[in-house]
Amino acid sequence: MNTTIQSSENSLPISNIRIAIIGLGYVGLPLARLFATKYSVVGFDVNSERVAELQSGKDVTLEVDNKLLQATLKQDNSNEIGLFCTTDAKDISDCNYYIITVPTPVDQNNRPVLTPLLKASETVGKVLQQDDVVVYESTVYPGATEEDCIPVLEKTSHLVFNQDFYVGYSPERINPGDKVHTVEKILKVTSGSTPQIAKQIDDLYRSVITAGTHLAPTIKVAEAAKVIENSQRDINIAFVNELAKIFNLMHINTNDVLRAAGTKWNFLPFKPGLVGGHCIGVDPYYLAQKAQEFGYHSEIILAGRRINDGMGKYVASEVVKLMIQKDIKVKEASVLVLGVAFKENCSDVRNTKAIDVINELKDFGAAVTVFDPYVNLEKVLLAYGTKAVNKLPENKKFNAIVLTVAHDEFSSIDMENLKKKKAIVYDVKGFLNPDNVDKVL
């Protein structure tokens, strides 16, 4: 095959393109699987258990259907179209596109942690060759690619940026657990370190993204666009969370208010809830931190974060108030929490705010059972020191049931069968049948 991606000058023929995806998590795997339908792709991850699982054709994150994964996999590191997963950096040494999709978390003080990104840059730098292109997808503050990552690539590879190798930034927009807005159906923002490379990167993504692409004028613009997407959503959710607190004091149903206001054509349909995960609950801190370096102290962004970070404690206090109102003794009360993932129909527990509700209820002395059919129980225990179950305990009834995550499976639960004679049901998401609920956030 001698056709090129497009007609861009110096673009490689499709048969010569070899892509390495660094990081095979919720973002990297769907992207690797998609590219592997048209190109030779090597998926690299340092987690040997994860790689072995993927090479056997199974994705426990449920982001890629196992049949789709199996149809894409190849069992050797050949140049044939398909996906080969590995923990050996030697297997990516003959690639010419390197796409980095590792996490960018914050520390306990909400400061950006670029360690995974810089380690991935070192890994790529060790195998980087003349004319190779490195594309970053991890969410960062504007300037991180050029100021933090490129120096690591240069130092490790002993090559010169924009002379020997090139760089781009194309922020991930994957929505974990969403089977409708899959990676190929989400318009992709792209950018590159030179106009020619930018076009080349855009052509590469456009060849597999059916929704199309948007070529940003610079890498910093693309970085900024990504970080404000999630910051904007975070602020809007913080606003409705604050409304929920106000209307609760006024004894007004917040969801009724939002439904009424939503009849106006330009009203934004946000709902109150727990804001966690590796994007919305984290990205605003990246932007605020960078703003501080320029002498600007963010007010709205950090105010939104404070409101959203405090919602777990607020929900727990509301649950306790309801229990007291029904003369339910809080200490040693049996409480069932439905969901510990950070969002519905997803197994990801990173930065989940459901844990704040759970820990606060435990601090009140309640005996908490955490039920989530999606999550890996060992990961929950390791990350949060909390035991969870994937199946409801048989013949056990509870003084309180708190829905924190709107998994589809929870809609069919017989709440009455789980309640003790004196019990309350609190619905954070407005997901359950209102006839079975004492209060909605």
Active site members: 279
SS (H, E, C) the chain: CCCECCCCCCCCEHHHCEEEEECCCCCHHHHHHHHCCCCEEEEECCCHHHHHHHHCCCCCCCCCCHHHHHHHECCCCCCCCEEEEECCHHHHCCCCEEEECCCCCECCCCCECCHHHHHHHHHHHCCCCCCCEEEECCCCCCCHHHHHHHHHHHHHHCCCECCCEEEEECCCCCCCCCCCCCHHHCCEEECECCHHHHHHHHHHHHCCCCCCEEECCCHHHHHHHHHHHHHHHHHHHHHHHHHHHHHHHCCCCHHHHHHHHCCCCCCCCCCCCCCCCCCCCCHHHHHHHHHHHCCCCCCHHHHHHHHHHCHHHHHHHHHHHHHHHCCCCCCCCEEEEECCCCCCCCCCCCCCCHHHHHHHHHHCCCEEEEECCCCCHHHHHHHHCCCCECCCCCCCCEEEEEECCCCHHHHHCCHHHHEEEEEEEEECCCCCCHHHCCEEC
Q: Tell me which amino acid residue 324 is.
A: I
Tokens of 306: 């404070």
Distance CA(276)–CA(348), nearest Å, equals 10
Answer whether 233's CB lies under 8 Å from 63's CB.
no
